[in-house]
Structure 1
Amino acid sequence: MRLLLTVLVIALTIYSLLDCARTPDENMPARMPKFLWIIIIVVITVVGPIAWIITSRVKAAEERGGYVEPTVWSSREGTRLRRPERPTPVAPDDDPEFLRNLDRDIRKRRKQEDAGNDGDGDNGDNGNNAD
């Protein structure tokens, strides 16, 4: 168990160091220089890497309007955050084709009801003859 925790702490520290080293200087969180972040990550064993991960993701989320994206690694540009292309959902009442089909279906039902009522002999007034 102790070995597992040691490996986990080392892996977390290495990940944080690599992520920090690959982050461009202008994207450093908390307005701290990169060398200071590296010292914090290495010296403060568990808290340093976790602090880096949290602050870097929060800064990225603020830049993206509150939306954290998965990290995409690139050897030339460092860590980049990218928003996947997603179609914007359209409400049914905003979709012209949906409204056209709905109107067509309503007219079709009315014609069927009118045709069914004409065959019954009551002309669709349900016995309420006010004449």
Structure 2
Amino acid sequence: MDAKYILGIPEIDAQHEELHELVNSLREVITRKDQRHLVHQALKRLHQLLVTHFAYEEAFMKMIGYADLPQHKKTHKGVLNIFENYFDHPPEPGDYEILGKMITDKVLGHVMEHDVKMTEVAKAHMKTNSAPRGRKQKT
């Protein structure tokens, strides 16, 4: 995974790594013609991971008091809606490349645009909450 996607929060970074691998897998499957079932399976796996990742991320944001959480949730919902539309109305194989690009742009774009902002707040929160609070050291 490209270093620009590493945020310094181990659990979220691990999830981003897995998301990146699944996006690459989806791209590979899409290039194969007449593989509707493989595309469907790849999208289903990616959707499941995104649901889990977004839930974790939202809980994390709530814990750190992330002010943009409501907007971030809307962004998550928008990404998941792409999958729900696919599952409700599967495209023709000729449209898979468009679908793959849209998903790649939304998933990886989300990490770069939104998760990086959240990381800055998280690091400030962790620094503040891990600093000693008025305790005197014993001598």
TM-score (normalised: structure 2): 0.31
Greater C-alpha radius of gyration: 1
**Larger relative helix fraction:** 2
Higher relative contact order (CA 8 A, sep 6+): 2
How does the TM-score come out when normalised to structure 1? Answer: 0.33
